[in-house]
Chain A
Amino acid sequence: MEYLNPQYILFAGILLLILVDFLRHSLKSNKKAILHYLTAVFLGLALVFDVIYGNMNINLFSEVQYSQFVTGFMLFLSFFIYLFIISDKNEHSVAIDISYLSAVLGSTLVVLSSNLISMFISIEILSISTYALVYMYKSGNALEGAVKYLSTGVISMVILIFGISLIYAGAGTLSFSSLHVISYLPFIAGVAIVIAGLGFKSTLVPFHMWAPDTYEASKSSVTAFISSVSKAAGLIAMIRIFFFALPVSSLFVTALFLSIALITIFLSSFLASVQDRIKRILAYSSISQAGFAFISIAVLTTRGINAAVFYIFAFAVADAIVFLAYDMFENKKIIYKKESDSMTQVSRIGAAAFFIGILSLAGFPPTIGFFGKLLIFYALFSSGYFALVILTFFALLVSTFYYFNILSEMHIIDKIIKSKKQVPIKKEQRIKEVILIILTLFLFIGVIFA
């Protein structure tokens, strides 16, 4: 019972996959499908064990109050995203299964890690496997996206380890539980640099440059993973470090955090509203969602953290839905927002799910995006940042504008209503639609976790 934790399961899964693939090669068999099913089974098992037994609890990795919920929704999302990926007919190599499993493993480990070194290693596991995932579908400019991701990623990892070493110089320890005694100057420098390192993963301005290009270059279902699960991992790591570990209470840190968050929200909102391609708009919107989650982390109160965790959950689900739905449209070459009215010809359910996902991202009730924003505003108000909230309202208005612009001023809903043409629907598309429906339902019943 002690070892029935999702992390062990995932690790065992990776090993088993390598073994089975090796056996398959030596038997000269050509059946890859069984490996995909095996991966899905392992992801599902990991989810079940997370719900029943919780995460692993050892020296370098330990649970905090929200970690079971966070790993739970990460595994839940990655399970469905994976099902979506394998429901495509074209052949995948086993490398995708393995790197996907290690990416999931890495992101759950980030949530749990209780030491700066173990956190660094978990982020590395996550990053390296996502570089591979981005490039694995050799479509269009996947290489460019992957290289951009890789180069900025490597640099930010170097910066991160530099910041960690500064913190070590100041505190003499790397364990989160004993980081409380620390002298001022190295601490400030360390914090600033750690933000730079983690801000890359969670796409905060000014470390967001890679995001639109990489999101656009990679296959949308992979983007769904990067923008939901992987980004959630980066933000949760921030929470773990800055709320639970470092004794942050100085004015400087709060001001730094808040300004980063505000710049992220505003810059991404304005950049999103001038984009032409749907996927770039979605990418910038995803950046602005990270900004909202970060503004709630920035107030560094328990309320803020709770709000942030719930908001991360909310936007991860919505982002996953939007990108997965967009994957179906992208296959039919719907790229510019002018063409969004032909989305319904691909799949009406897909278009409806896309629509509801956008509503949730824009924060309209009764979706969980609304409740997430409610909790964030509550956290901000209870810390006394009144003017800040009013400022974010303007960003929200801009975002309302561009979200409804993606829908190309409602062409989508127009077509959902009017199209009578029956499109022949393939079996794989049915599977995709069922996945989207399940995820969309979560947008409504997710309130119970608030």
Chain B
Amino acid sequence: MINLILLLVVPAIGILFLILKKFYDKLPSSEIIVLSAMVVNAILFVLGLIFGFSGFNVNINPSISFSFSLQENFITIPFLLLAVTVPIGIFLFATKEIKQSKVIFYLFYLLVYVSVISVFVSSNLIVFFIFWEVAVLSLFFITGLWGDHEKGKRAAMKFLVFTQFGSLTLLAVFILLFLYTGSFNFSVIASKMSLLPSYIEYISFFLLLITVMIKMPIFPFHGWLLDSYYYSPSSGTMLLSSALSKLGGFAFILFGFGLFRNLLFDFRLPLIALGVFTAIYIAFTASGQKDLKKLLSYSSMFYMSLVFIGISSGISLAVAGSVLLMISHGFIITMLFGVSYILMQKTGTNETEKMGGLMSRMPLLSFFFIFGIFASLGVPGLSNFPGELLIFIGSYGVAGISLIAIFGIMLSTNYYLRVIKQSLFGQLKKTFAGLTDISKNELLFMVFLSFFILLLGLFPSLILNTLGGL
């Protein structure tokens, strides 16, 4: 048995070494420290898959039911897979991208890493909330300090104020649950949900919805998305889209589907309608973008709205599909943002109209770009396909309007193909004649991610089998 605390202790040791490195120069370089911490963690995770995980519990203050307790729940394993693997890929990429005050960046990076893992495994809601906030704060600093020089800080502020409101409503939900069940422990709350009066259930469900809709994000609350995705450093954007937005989906499944299932059933029609509206709206918005990074940011929101449709239909099949889609989207969007950053570095522009014919100079990059876009479009055999399929099958049984969202996928096919056409094919511009292909490091990053995209696409049952408790 692998104790879940080990997954937290290893990165914590990494953080400790990073701090110690300021005083003792003899330690190995900071990249090696971070990478080895994450690799050891991944190995521990694999061992845990084989031998099983065991929980962990330390009481801190019994009067407010605050105990540091970790326990796996019904959707932990797939999300843990995302949380322990994607950051390794992003890190391979970040070592190239981040130029100044590297050690501190790695510190924040490990903080995000450890807090995302802790959110996924914590069974005490206060611990959940603490790490939820630590992740937000660390990403706030990553965006603000390493992002765009002029607008990064403003974008980070916007991000903080928006998500802070979501965090506060989540906190309100937790306190309401504590008030009526007398515990912050997830399993105790789940067993005592019948104690909640119905109006409290309504209040907490809507507060939870606000949190989720800010975090994922869904239509009226997506104002922070573009700024913080666009002005973050690319590795920050990858963390935002592959880890932070998944926290929203995780919370929606864990609490919305796990605790408030009856209310979810009552409200599934309007919620699905909202998800469909967001999907179409965002697909149109993305179609109008000329800037690759903006387009990818909006497309990331598009897939999260599909996830929203899947979860709010409240059917196990669709929820399982949502989990699959979230995991696979985490890998794919990381890869696409990586490609967009490399294109930006090589060509000096983010606008696809100004590129052209890059295929002839960068065949490897073009291969992975097209691979990522096809995966994103849901080509069978790649990882988005099973998730999307399950979501649509599941939600169609509940509400036919969910099929309108397929129109959004058509739109995204349109804009993705336009991007490929404009940037990769056509006449090579003379200014780009001297371009070289991606380096070994970047190749490793791409291969690492495509391995998982293929794996999940060919064997989605690997994830679906772990979702037994749904």
Query: Which residue numbers of A lie inside 8 Å of B, CB to CB?
Result: 364-366, 370-371, 374-375, 377-378, 381-382, 386, 389-390, 393, 396-397, 400-401, 404, 409-410, 413-414, 417-418, 447-448, 450
Contact = CB atoms under 8 A, between A and B. Distances in A.
Contact of B165 (A365, A393, A409, A418): A393
Contacts of A400: 160-161, 164
Nearest to B136: A364
Question: Which of B60, B137, B175 is the most central at the interface, judged by chain A CB atoms within 10 Å of its CB?
Answer: B175
B179 A378 contact: yes
B133 A365 contact: yes
A415 to B, nearest CB: 11
B168 A409 contact: no
Given A381-B179, A390-B172, A397-B165, A447 B61 contact: yes
Contacts of B164: 396-397, 400
Contacts of A371: 64
Given A374-B175, A417-B145, 13 more contacts: A370-B130, A378-B178, A381-B172, A381-B176, A393-B165, A393-B168, A404-B157, A409-B144, A410-B145, A418-B100, A447-B66, A448-B61, A450-B64
B79 interface: no
A382 B60 contact: no
Contacts of A447: 60-61, 66
Contacts of B226: none
A372 to B, nearest CB: 11
Nearest to A449: B61
Given A375-B64, A450-B61, A410 B175 contact: no
B145 A413 contact: yes
Given A377-B175, A447-B61, A365 B134 contact: yes
B113 to A, nearest CB: 17
Contacts of B172: 377, 381, 389-390, 393
Contacts, number: 76
B175 A378 contact: yes
A386 B203 contact: yes
Interface in B176-207: 176, 178-179, 203
A414 B145 contact: yes
* Interface class of chain B by DSSP: helix
Interface in B106-152: 126, 129-130, 133-134, 137, 141, 144-145
Top 4 closest pairs, chain A to chain B, by CB: A365-B130, A409-B153, A417-B104, A393-B168
Contacts of A365: 129-130, 133-134
Contacts of A366: 130, 134
A413 B101 CA distance: 12
24 contacts: A365-B129, A374-B64, A374-B171, A374-B175, A375-B64, A377-B172, A377-B175, A378-B175, A381-B172, A381-B175, A386-B203, A390-B172, A393-B165, A400-B160, A410-B153, A414-B145, A418-B100, A418-B101, A447-B60, A447-B66, A448-B61, A450-B63, A450-B64, A450-B66
B154 interface: yes
A417 B101 contact: yes
A397 B129 CA distance: 17
A426 to B, nearest CB: 22
A409 B144 CA distance: 8
Question: Which of B126, B169, B171 is the most central at the interface, judged by chain A CB atoms within 10 Å of its CB?
Answer: B171
B66 A410 contact: no
B335 interface: no
B161 A409 contact: no
A388 to B, nearest CB: 11
A163 to B, nearest CB: 35
Nearest to A371: B64
A370 B174 CA distance: 14
A53 to B, nearest CB: 25
Contacts of B176: 381
B21 to A, nearest CB: 14
B212 interface: no
Contacts of B179: 378, 381-382
Contacts of A448: 60-61
A414 B156 CA distance: 14
Contacts of A378: 64, 175, 178-179
A410 B61 contact: no
A410 B133 CA distance: 17
Contacts of B153: 409-410
A365 B122 CA distance: 15
A406 to B, nearest CB: 13
A393 B153 CA distance: 23
Contacts of A364: 133, 137
B157 to A, nearest CB: 6
Contacts of A389: 172
Question: Which of A365, A371, A396 is the most central at the interface, judged by chain B CB atoms within 10 Å of its CB?
Answer: A365
A375 B171 CA distance: 11
Contact of B156 (A374, A401, A410, A418): A410
A331 to B, nearest CB: 28
